[in-house]
């Protein structure tokens, strides 16, 4: 029993360190996404391209989604070393938010790409050259 307790007491600080690193990476990617989005917004304003906001918002959403992955991993580790109901609830909430964000972000990206294809005239399969008809 003593060796299990010794291993456990050494493992908990290690897991807490990894958890802290994961939380820091999540914050880092939110900051990077913020800087990228702000730079794109400044360029869009400077060029008077107001229609670029959807693309910028989707780009920032990707960074948020990545950050939520790190947060989810951090919450999993928190739950593994201290499985309180509060930690389990936090893990569940993060998982639901991440799943919903990824679902809607993927949908919006697909819709945006389809709209871009329609505007450029590339989405209609009837317009594409058929094999042997070139």
The reply to whether 52 falls in a domain is yes
Residues spanned by the domain of 114: 16-119
Torsions phi, psi for 118 (to 5 deg): -65, -40
pTM to 2 decimal places: 0.70
- Helix, strand, or coil (residue 105): helix
pLDDT tens for the chain, residues 1 to 134: 567 677 677 788 888 899 999 999 999 999 999 999 999 999 888 888 776 688 888 889 889 989 988 988 888 888 887 778 887 888 888 888 888 888 888 888 888 888 888 877 754 444 444 444 43
Is there a domain that residue 130 lies in?
A: no
Please state the domain count of the chain. Answer: 1
């Amino acid at each position: 029993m003593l060796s299990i307790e010794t291993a456990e007491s050494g493992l908990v600080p290690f897991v807490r360190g990894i958890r802290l690193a994961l939380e820091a990476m999540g914050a880092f990617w939110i900051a990077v996404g913020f800087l990228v989005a702000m730079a794109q917004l400044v360029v869009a304003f400077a060029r008077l391209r107001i229609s670029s906001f959807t693309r910028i918002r989707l780009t920032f959403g990707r960074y948020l989604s990545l950050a939520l992955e790190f947060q989810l991993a951090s919450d999993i580790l928190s739950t593994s070393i201290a499985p309180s109901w509060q930690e389990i609830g936090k893990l569940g909430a993060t998982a639901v938010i991440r799943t919903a964000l990824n679902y809607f972000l993927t949908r919006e990206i697909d819709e945006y790409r389809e709209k871009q294809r329609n505007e450029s005239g590339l989405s209609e399969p009837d317009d594409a050259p058929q094999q042997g008809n070139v």
